[in-house]
Amino acid sequence: MLISDAILTATLFFAIFMEQVYRIPDSDKFILLTVMSIVTIPSCYIGGWLGDRLGLKRILFFSCTILIVSFLFIALSTSSNLLYVLMVFVGFGWGGYYATARALLVNISPAQQLGEYFGFYSTFQKFASIIGPLEWGGITLLLVDYGIVRYRIAVIALVALMLVGTILLTQVKEKRV
């Protein structure tokens, strides 16, 4: 939930962050999102393929690590040119995350309780639509006097959510099929 929450929140506030922190025009935001999306598509396949061979948990952990590092660099960087490279990495992380997160849930869920587990997953996804935006909005509102630094801090807070989620992931016991 925490990782998904950070991803969904980043998607919601991407345009605002890029505008406020990097002063990027809409045409460049479009290009950045396109680069990320183009990389995400094959990354989903590659992430799933690697997950089948190396373990879903391992690839999910690796994907989360890529996202954490990428988001951290996006938050701290001052180079708009570096964003293009970082969005490639975000695309790789995103694809791997989406390919393996639900597959791992199927893998660790008892067969007779699969619907129940996905019900919990869906419920947590709904909470993810609330927590991240509240965190983002609260930080940017409380730190309004700090200018663009507040947006960088908001992204770092999303990184913290992903970090906690990734640490919790290490406690998951994956069943090898």
Q: What is the pTM of this model?
A: 0.91
pLDDT in tens, the chain (177 residues): 788 888 888 888 999 999 999 999 999 999 999 999 999 999 999 999 999 999 999 999 999 999 999 999 999 999 989 999 999 999 999 999 999 998 999 988 888 998 998 888 888 777 767 888 999 999 999 999 999 999 999 999 999 999 999 999 999 988 765
Q: What is the C-alpha separation between 109 and 44, in angstroms, rounded?
A: 22
Helix axes 56-76, 82-108, angle to 10 degrees: 150
Q: What is the C-alpha separation between 134 and 112, in angstroms, rounded?
A: 36
The structural domains of the chain, ordered by start, are 2-169 (1.20.1250.20)
Closest CA to 66 of 164, 173, 163, 171: 163
What is the amino acid identity at position 152? R
CA angle centred on 8, ends 24 and 44, rounded to 5° = 95
What is the amino acid identity at position 22? Y
Question: Tens digits of per-residue pLDDT, 94-108?
Answer: 999 999 998 999 988
Find out whether 139 and 151 touch, Cβ atoms under 8 Å: no
DSSP string, 122-145: HHHHHHHHHHHHHHHHHHHHHTGG
Helices H / strands E in the chain, number of each: 6, 0
DSSP 20: I
